Amino acid sequence: MVSAAIKIGLDASCLIPQPLTGVGYYTLHQLRALLSEDRGLEFRLFASSAQAAPEYLRELGRRCEHMRTLRCPTRLKNLAWTQFEWPPIERFVGPVDVAHGCFHLLPAARRAKRMATVFDLSGIRCPHTHSAGDVGLHRRLLRHAVAKADALVAISESSKADLVELLGAAPERVYVVYGGVLLEEFDRDLDGEALAALKARFGITGEYVIHLGTLEPRKNLARLIEAYGRVRARRGECPALVLAGKAGWMYDDVFETIERLGLGDSVIHTGYLERAEAVCLLRGACGCVYPSLYEGFGLPVLEAMAARVPVLTSKVSSLPEVVGDTGLLVDPESVDAIEAGLFELIEERAAGSERATRAYERAQNFTWQRSAAALADVYRAVYAGGAS
């Protein structure tokens, strides 16, 4: 007799806001991999936002047993689910065995076991890098999830440790599911004409090192620019520093530092890039610099590894888990340390190439299929725990 499929109710509302952030990118590719093969699971998708659902969310819905989208302000759902435990997700998608909130918010449910994915605790670990409103929101969501969830998914061992230390989560209820990388994006031949066109568009001449990510305080860009200015003063000629990503919040010190140091011709901000553009610019770089103060996982670093681009990143939070010994790890709070690492990245090309080769090999272990298989195992373990 064939066992009935386990019914999973997914709140994937984090896929609606545009453009996709790291959270949305992680969730989209993990769910695509999850739905790409029969795993003995039946998925029912729910998403709510004041914005309309994008096509890729509807594409996921077509691969699910059921899908429901609701035009509703996110703050109202946050309040209803955390304060009133209502309305249950079953009201929107029908009966489910496990209800999963894909980003911090634990769904309300009638009978289903409940779980939520936690990407990071930066609002608690580094509150000065967020607005007061965001800090308060994520503290409420995470405290509610820790108190009420049958299980939590952390995207790194570092995030799991933070859940245990900062919020008192029971370790046995926290499962680690790493993110992945689309290896095929980096294995095809680099389009030299497309790269040349991008460099011309942004005024990049010659070599460059790249930082991928939103301009916001946690990315530690002011210290990176300070360190870059020192390296440029030491060397004279120096690759440009390209900041590829949209301006997010509390980013004034980034541009103030560029102006104060007179680096306007050598520090280039591209703004938001389409995915193909970001991949192309990353692959053409002579180094990836990512001295973040805190990361739940660090997808840009993994992508640089897959692109065979030498990496400089931080020795804190999850980043050493991803990089291992294949990158230059520095103290992100020390401009001196970032300067030394950046100088080595630029000067020691042979050593960087050797690390990049090992990094590429390490990146093969981080695939979205492996991530999806690990998440499917969590669903089965949570379901096997019995009814609430």
CATH of the domain at 218: 3.40.50.2000
Inter-helix orientation angle 192-202/275-284, to 10°: 100
Q: Is the peptide bond before 291 cis (omega within 30 degrees of 0)?
A: no
Q: What is residue 20's predicted lDDT score, i.e. its pLDDT?
A: 87
d(CA 70, CA 46) in angstroms, rounded, equals 8
Say if 239 falls within a structural domain.
yes
Q: What is residue 19's predicted lDDT score, i.e. its pLDDT?
A: 87
d(CA 86, CA 274) in angstroms, rounded, equals 38
d(CA 28, CA 47) in angstroms, rounded, equals 13
The reply to whether 169 and 286 lie within a common domain is no
Q: Is 96 helix (H, G, I), strand (E, B) or coil?
A: coil
Strands 98-101 and 6-11, by their bridges, are parallel
The candidate with the shortest Cα–Cα distance to 164, out of 316, 156, 319, is 156
Q: What is residue 388's predicted lDDT score, i.e. its pLDDT?
A: 43
The candidate with the shortest Cα–Cα distance to 12, out of 4, 23, 3, is 23
Q: What is residue 386's predicted lDDT score, i.e. its pLDDT?
A: 52
The reply to whether 66 and 108 lie within a common domain is yes
Say if 1 falls within a structural domain.
no
Q: What is residue 312's predicted lDDT score, i.e. its pLDDT?
A: 98
Which residues of the chain register pLDDT less than 50?
1-2, 387-388
Q: Is 220 helix (H, G, I), strand (E, B) or coil?
A: coil
The candidate with the shortest Cα–Cα distance to 288, out of 262, 270, 306, is 306
The reply to whether 233 and 338 lie within a common domain is yes
What's this model's pTM, rounded to 2 decimal places? 0.95
Task: Give the pLDDT confidence of 131-147 residue by residue, as tens digits.
Answer: 999 999 999 999 999 99
The reply to whether 112 and 34 lie within a common domain is yes
The reply to whether 372 and 322 lie within a common domain is no
Where is 121: in which H helix or E strand? none
Expressed as residue numbers, the domain containing 293 is 184-363
The reply to whether 231 and 350 lie within a common domain is yes
The reply to whether 334 and 379 lie within a common domain is no
Beta strands in 213-347 (DSSP E): 240-244, 267-271, 287-290, 311-314, 328-330
The reply to whether 171 and 229 lie within a common domain is no
The reply to whether 150 and 284 lie within a common domain is no
The reply to whether 192 and 298 lie within a common domain is yes
Q: Is the peptide bond before 87 cis (omega within 30 degrees of 0)?
A: yes
The reply to whether 230 and 172 lie within a common domain is no
Q: What is the DSSP letter of 247?
A: B
In the numeric block, the tokens 């942004």 are attached to: 202
Number of domains in the chain: 2
Max Cα separation, the chain?
Answer: 73
d(CA 373, CA 360) in angstroms, rounded, equals 22
